[in-house]
C-alpha cells in the first residue's frame, strides 16, 4: 500500500460548517473513571485540531471495550471527555448517542470549530455486524467521514467500513502517518530488514512468524516463544514456559526460513531462575546448561551483543514483543538493552525502526526509548494482523472510497 491509494485531509477541501464524523480510538485504559494512559488520545490531536481550526464540526466516533451491542453504562465514553479536553486544550462536548435523527438534529446545532464525543458505537448490535441500517442512521450525523483509528482497522464494523462506503471518506493524519510508516517498514523496505518477534506464546503469533520469514532477512525470536523453538531443536529448557506440542510447527518455520534465506536468531545464552518473581537468585548460562528445575526468563548478554551487531548491519527493523519477562526485574535487561541499541541506530539515521503491539509499547516506554523509534504504533490487534500480511478492512474501505 502506498500513501497515494487513499485520500487524506489534503484532499478534503472546504470543511467550514461541515459535520465530520471522525473515527478515532478512545479505547483507552481507565481506572476509577480516570484515563490511565493517554497515548491513544494524543494520537488524535493533529486530525481533530486541524479540522476544528478549519471550521468543521468535529464529531468523534469510537468504541469503548466490548459491551456486545448493549447499552451498558460502565462502557460509556462520557468519562473520557474531561481527559480529552485537557489533551486538546479545548472544550469537548458529549452526545449520548451516535445514530438516528435525534442525534443528527443535535449535531446540526453545534458551532463551527466545536468538538463533540459521541456515545460508544458498540452500544448498537449493528456496529460489529456492519449492519446497513445502522450505517445509514450513523451517516445522518455527518457529511464527511474521516478514519483516524488504525488500531480498529482490522474490524469490519459500521463505524470503520460501513461509513467509509456511504460517505466521502478520508484518512486522518494519524492513520496516514501510520500507514506510511508501516509501508516503509514492510511494504517497501530498505534491506537488510530485521524483525524482533517476542512474547509468551508461539501459538498466538504463528502467522506473524510465517509471514516474517518470507519478508525479512533476520528474524530475532525472544520471550517464551524462543523456548518453544529451542525445545524443538532438542534443547532441554527445564521448567521454562514452552509449547512442546508445537515442536513440528516450530521446525517447519525454521525450515521455511532456511528456504527463504532468512536467518533465525535464537539465544545461545539465557538468564534462568528457579522462581518467577521480582529479583530472585539468577544464573546466566548457555542454553544447553538450563537445569531441570530452572526457567528461562530472559536472553543473555552474549546473545544481546550478537543481536546488537545484527541490527548494526540492518536498515529496517520491525519489533513486536519483548525478549524476556520484562515486567519482572531483572528480566527486562535484554529488552531494554536491544531497544536502546535500536533507538541509538535510529537516531544516527542508520535504521528505520517501527514497533507495535500492546506489550511492545509498554516495553519501549519502560526502556525510555519509545520516542526515539521512527514510529511506534498504538495498535494491538491491527498491528499484528498487518504483520501477518492480512488485509485490514478499515484501510481497504478507505482505498475504495471515491
Residues that bind ligand 3PG (CB under 6 A): 25, 27, 66, 151-152, 155, 380-381
Round to whole Å and give the CA distance between 152 and 66. 13
Residue 151 binding result from ligand 3PG, Mg ion, none, given CB thresholds of 5 to 8 Å by partner type? ligand 3PG
Minimum CB distance to Mg ion, residue 358 (Å): 8
Q: Which position among 18, 19, 23, 40 bears the catalytic label?
A: 40
Round to whole Å and give the CA distance between 401 and 170. 8
What one-character DSSP code corresponds to residue 329?
Answer: T
Cβ within 8 Å of residue 92, ≥6 positions away: 81, 84, 85, 115, 116, 117
Round to whole Å and give the CA distance between 271 and 283. 6
Minimum CB distance to Mg ion, residue 41 (Å): 17
Asked about 381 being catalytic, the answer comes back as yes
| Pick 154 or 177: Cβ nearer Mg ion | 154
Q: Which position among 223, 356, 357, 358 bears the catalytic label?
A: 358
What one-character DSSP code corresponds to residue 151?
Answer: G
Residue 27 binding result from Mg ion, ligand 3PG, none, given CB thresholds of 5 to 8 Å by partner type? ligand 3PG
Round to whole Å and give the CA distance between 340 and 246. 32
Asked about 358 being catalytic, the answer comes back as yes
| Pick 15 or 181: Cβ nearer ligand 3PG | 181
Minimum CB distance to Mg ion, residue 380 (Å): 4
| Pick 69 or 381: Cβ nearer ligand 3PG | 381
The residue number whose beta carbon is nearest to Mg ion equals 381
Cell 500507514, residue located: 179
Residue 127 binding result from ligand 3PG, Mg ion, none, given CB thresholds of 5 to 8 Å by partner type? none
Supply the angle between the helices 247-259 and 206-215 in degrees, to the nearest 10: 20
As a residue count, the chain comes to: 402
Asked about 23 being catalytic, the answer comes back as no
* CA 27, chain centre distance (Å): 12
Round to whole Å and give the CA distance between 49 and 295. 50
Minimum CB distance to ligand 3PG, residue 156 (Å): 11
Round to whole Å and give the CA distance between 317 and 218. 9
| Pick 25 or 243: Cβ nearer ligand 3PG | 25
Q: Which position among 210, 381, 389, 399 bears the catalytic label?
A: 381
Residue 25 binding result from Mg ion, ligand 3PG, none, given CB thresholds of 5 to 8 Å by partner type? ligand 3PG
Strand order in the sheet with 295-299: 282-286, 269-273, 295-299
Minimum CB distance to ligand 3PG, residue 169 (Å): 19
| Pick 187 or 381: Cβ nearer ligand 3PG | 381
Q: Which position among 201, 239, 274, 399 bears the catalytic label?
A: 201
Residue 233 binding result from Mg ion, ligand 3PG, none, given CB thresholds of 5 to 8 Å by partner type? none
Round to whole Å and give the CA distance between 315 and 258. 21
Task: Write the burial class of residue 278 (CB in 10 Å: 0-12 exposed, 13-18 middle, 19+ buried).
Answer: exposed
Q: Which stretches does DSSP call E strand in 267-339?
A: 269-273, 282-286, 295-299, 316-320
Minimum CB distance to ligand 3PG, residue 149 (Å): 7
b/e map of 235-262 (b: 16 or more CB within 10 Å)? bebbbbbbbeebbebbeebbeebeeeeb
Sites of contact with Mg ion (CB under 5 A): 380-381
Residue 79 binding result from ligand 3PG, Mg ion, none, given CB thresholds of 5 to 8 Å by partner type? none
| Pick 27 or 159: Cβ nearer ligand 3PG | 27
| Pick 116 or 379: Cβ nearer ligand 3PG | 379
Asked about 172 being catalytic, the answer comes back as no
* CA 183, chain centre distance (Å): 14
Round to whole Å and give the CA distance between 180 and 6. 11
Round to whole Å and give the CA distance between 165 and 176. 18
Minimum CB distance to ligand 3PG, residue 25 (Å): 5
The residue number whose beta carbon is nearest to ligand 3PG equals 27
Q: Which residues are catalytic?
A: 40, 201, 358, 381
Amino acid at each position: 500500500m502506498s500513501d497515494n491509494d487513499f485520500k487524506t485531509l489534503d484532499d478534503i477541501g472546504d470543511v467550514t460548517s461541515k459535520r465530520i464524523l471522525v473515527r478515532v480510538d478512545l479505547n483507552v485504559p481507565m481506572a476509577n473513571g480516570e484515563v490511565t494512559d493517554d497515548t491513544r488520545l494524543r494520537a488524535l490531536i493533529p486530525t481533530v485540531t486541524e479540522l476544528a481550526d478549519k471550521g468543521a464540526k468535529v464529531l468523534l466516533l469510537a468504541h469503548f471495550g466490548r459491551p456486545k451491542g448493549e447499552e451498558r453504562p460502565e462502557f460509556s465514553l462520557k468519562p473520557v471527555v474531561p481527559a480529552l479536553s485537557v489533551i486538546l486544550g479545548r472544550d469537548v462536548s458529549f452526545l449520548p448517542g451516535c445514530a438516528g435523527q435525534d442525534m443528527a438534529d443535535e449535531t446540526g446545532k453545534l458551532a463551527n470549530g466545536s468538538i463533540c464525543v459521541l456515545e460508544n458505537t458498540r452500544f448498537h448490535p449493528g456496529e460489529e455486524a456492519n449492519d446497513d441500517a445502522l450505517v445509514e442512521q450513523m451517516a445522518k450525523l455527518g457529511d464527511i467521514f474521516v478514519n483516524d483509528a488504525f488500531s480498529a482497522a482490522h474490524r469490519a464494523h459500521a463505524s470503520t467500513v460501513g461509513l467509509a462506503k456511504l460517505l466521502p471518506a478520508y484518512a486522518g493524519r494519524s492513520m496516514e502517518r501510520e500507514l506510511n510508516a508501516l509501508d516503509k517498514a514492510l511494504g517497501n523496505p530498505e534491506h537488510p530488514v530485521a524483525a524482533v518477534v517476542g512474547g509468551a506464546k508461539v501459538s498466538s503469533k504463528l502467522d506473524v512468524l510465517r509471514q516474517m520469514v518470507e519478508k525479512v532477512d533476520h528474524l530475532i525470536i525472544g520471550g517464551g516463544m524462543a523456548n518453544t523453538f529451542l525445545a524443538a531443536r532438542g534443547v532441554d529448557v527445564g521448567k521454562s514456559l514452552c509449547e512442546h506440542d508445537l515442536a513440528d510447527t516450530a521446525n517447519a518455520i525454521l525450515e521455511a526460513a532456511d528456504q527463504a534465506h532468512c536467518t533465525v536468531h535464537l539465544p545461545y545464552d539465557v538468564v534462568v531462575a528457579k522462581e518467577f518473581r521480582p529479583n530472585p537468585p539468577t544464573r546466566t548460562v548457555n542454553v544447553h546448561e538450563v537445569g531441570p528445575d530452572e526457567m528461562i526468563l530472559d536472553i543473555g548478554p552474549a546473545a544481546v551483543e550478537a543481536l546488537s551487531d545484527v541490527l548494526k548491519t540492518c536498515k529496517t527493523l520491525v519489533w513486536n514483543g519483548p525478549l524476556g519477562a520484562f515486567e519482572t526485574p531483572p528480566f527486562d535487561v535484554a529488552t531494554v538493552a536491544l531497544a536502546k541499541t535500536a533507538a541509538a541506530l535510529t537516531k544516527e539515521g542508520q535504521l528505520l525502526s517501527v514497533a507495535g503491539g500492546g506489550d511492545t509499547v509498554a516495553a519501549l516506554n519502560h526502556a525510555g526509548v519509545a520516542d526515539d523509534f521512527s514510529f511506534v504504533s498504538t495498535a494491538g490487534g491491527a498491528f499484528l494482523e498487518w504483520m501477518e500480511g492480512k488485509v485490514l478492512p478499515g484501510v481497504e474501505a478507505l482505498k475504495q472510497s471515491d
